[in-house]
Structure 1
Amino acid sequence: MNVERNSLAEQARVHAALGDPGRLAIVETLVAGDASPGELGLVLEMPTNLIAHHLKVLEDAGLVVRSRSEGDRRRTYVRVVTEVLESAVTPSLAPAPRVVFVCTQNSARSQLAASIWSRRSRIPALSAGTRPATAPHPRAVRVARKHGLDPTGWRTSQVSDVVKPDDLVIAVCDIAYEHLPAAARPRLHWSIPDPAATDTDAAFEAAYTELTDRVDRLAPVLSPTDATDNSRSRP
C-alpha cells in the first residue's frame, strides 16, 4: 500500500508540474531536443527568473535534469527524463525534407544517428562534422555492425558541404552545437556524451542506446515535406 501511495504521489507531482502552461511549453520544447535555460527563455519569450522557477519545479518532479556542456563548461543544458515523462507530450515541429546529424568529428555519434534514423523514417538522413576526422571511429563501426547497421558507406564530411536550406540539423554533441554556423537552421540539440573521450566499447554502446531512444521519439512525429516525397518518386 505504501508503494502504491508513493507511486500515486509521484504521478501527482508530475501532473501538477505539467499543469502550468509555461512548464508544459518548456517540456514540449525539450522533448525534441536539449536547451540551455537562456535558450528556453529566448524561444518561449520568458524572463530568466520565470524560467528558473519553472525549471526548479520540473526538476523537483523528476521531469528534467541538467548537464554541464562538454564544450563551453560554463553552460548547462536541460534535458527531459523520458522515463518520467512517458511520452505524455510530443514535440511540435515543421515538416523537414532531410535530417542532418552533426557532431564535431563526424566519426561516431552523427554517423550512428543517421544510420539509426534511416531504419526508422522515410525522411532522408545524412551526417556531417564541424571539424571532421579523416575516417569513422573503429568502435563506432563495430557497434553499428553489431546492431545490424551498415557502415560501409560512412564518409566524414564538413557541415558546410552537406547542410542545405530547410534541412533539420540535429547536433548530437555540445561542442558541435556551440559551433554550428548561424545559417544551419532549423536546428535541435541532443546533448550526448562523446564516447571517444572514454574510448571503450561500453561508452559507444551507451551512445548507440541513447541515440536510438532519441530517434525513436522524434521520427514518428516529424513529417516529410512535399520535396521529400518528390525526390523519392524521381527515377
Structure 2
Amino acid sequence: MNTEWQAEIERRATLHAVLSDPGRLAVVELLSLGDHSPSELSAELGMASNLVAHHVGVLVDHGLVSRRRSEGDRRRTYLHLTANAAMVPSGWTMPRPRRVLFVCTANSARSHLAAALWHRASPITATSAGTHPATAVAAGALAAAARHDLPLPNVKPRPFNDVRRDDDLVVTVCDNAHEEMGTVADVHWSVPDPVPAADDAAFDAAFEEIARRVEDLAPRIAHA
C-alpha cells in the first residue's frame, strides 16, 4: 500500500472522528454559510460559550477551522472554515432571495467584486452598497477585475440605506460593516480589506477569497 495514500486515509478518518460529535458538526455546518464570532455561534446554536470554545478548539487543532482577528473591533475574532473542511458535505441551504446585497464600509472594492462575481455564478440578481460609501471605486479593485477578466459595472459607491430592500439577502464582506449593522446582515464573510495595502497581491487575495465563497454559496441558494 502506498505510504502517502495510507497517511491520507488515516488523516481523513481522524477528521471524520472529530466530526462525529453533533456539537462540532453543528459548528462546521453553521460556518459553512458564513463566518461567526464565538459569541455569535453560541447564540445561533443555543450552546454554552464554554462548550463552543471547546468544540472550536478541537476543530482548530485539527485544521478544520481557523481564526481571524476582526479589522473593526480588534477584541473580536471571526471563525471560518479551512480548505480541509471541504471534505464535509453540507446539507444546509438558504431560501432563494429576490436579490443578494453585498455590503462593505466604503463600497469601493470588496462589495463591488462580490456582486460582479455573483453575477457570473448565479442567475439571482446582486448589487452592492456601503455603510459609509467612498467617492469612487478603488483603482485596485478595477485593476483586479481586469486581471481576472471580470466585468465590473461602472457604478459609484452607494449608501446601504438607499439600496437595501426588505427581501434582500444581505452579505457583509467587511468586519466593520458587519459589526455596525449587527443582525441586519444575514451572512458575514470576514475578508481582509485590500485598500490599505494598495498592491496587486492584496486585491488578488481578496478577489480569490470572495470568488471561492461565491462559488460555494451560489448553488446552495439556487437549489433551495
- Range of TM-score over shorter length: over 0.9
* 1:77 aligned counterpart, secondary structure: strand
Normalised by the length of structure 2, the TM-score is 0.94
Q: Measure how far apart 1:63 and its partner are.
A: 0.6
SS across alignment from 1:195? coil
- Report the counterpart of residue 123 of structure 2 in structure 1: 122
Q: Distance in 2 between matches of 1:72 and 1:90?
A: 32
Provide Cα deviations, 1:36-78, integer angstroms capped at 9, x if missing partner. 0100010010001110111112112211001110000000000
Q: What aligned pairs does 1:53-64 form with structure 2 within 5 A after superposition?
A: 53-64=54-65
Alpha carbons of structure 1 residues 56 and 152: separation in structure 2 relative to 1, 3 Å: closer
Gaps of 5+ in 1: 226-235
- Distance in structure 1 (CA, Å) of the matches to 2:23 and 2:97: 26
Secondary structure at 1:99 match in 2: strand
2:196 corresponding residue in structure 1? 197
- 1-side partners of 2:220 and 2:85: how far apart? 19
Moved more, 76-85 or 117-126: 76-85
Aligned counterparts of 2:30 and 2:8: Cα–Cα separation in 1: 26
Separation (CA, whole Å) in 2 of partners of 1:28 and 1:79: 11
Question: Which residue in the other structure is 2:157 paired with?
Answer: 156
Amino acid at match of 1:217: D
Question: Quick one: distance in 2 between partners of 1:171 and 1:147?
Answer: 22
For these two proteins, the number of residue pairs brought into alignment is 223
**Local SS of the residue matching 1:35:** coil
2:27–2:41 Cα contact (<8 Å) kept: yes
Question: Per-residue deviation at 1:90?
Answer: 4.5
Q: Write the mapping of 1:136-151 to structure 2, written as runs, cut at 5 A.
A: 136-151=137-152
Task: State the percentage of identical aligned residues.
Answer: 46
| Counterpart Cα distance in 2 of 1:18 and 1:219 | 25
Corresponding residue for residue 104 of structure 1: 105
Alpha-carbon contact 2:140-2:200 (below 8 Å) kept: yes
2: CA distance, partners of 1:181 / 1:65:
22
Aligned AA for 2:139? Answer: P
Contact 1:31–1:90, Cα closer than 8 Å, also in 2: no
Asked if 1:26 is matched to 2:33, the reply is no
Q: Which residue of 1 aligns with 2:216?
A: 217
Residue 87 (structure 1) shift = 5.2
> What secondary structure sits across from 2:195 in the alignment?
helix
Q: Partner amino acid for 1:65?
A: S
Q: Is the 8 A contact 2:63 2:84 kept in 1?
A: no
State the distance in 2 between where 1:168 and 1:203 align: 27
Aligned counterpart, 1:207: 206
CA contact (8 A) 1:110 1:128 kept: yes
RMSD (CA atoms):
1.7
* Contact preservation (8 Å) 2:31, 2:80: yes
Deviation at 1:8, TM superposition (A): 2.1
Please, what TM-score do these two structures have when normalized by structure 1?
0.89
SS at match of 1:153: coil
Classify the secondary structure of the residue corresponding to 1:102: strand
After TM superposition, where is structure 1 displaced by more than 6 Å over at least 4 residues in a row? none
Deviation track 1:186-235 (CA, whole Å, cap 9, x = no partner) reads x111011000121101100111111110000000001389xxxxxxxxxx
Q: What SS does structure 1 have at the residue aligned with 2:9?
A: helix
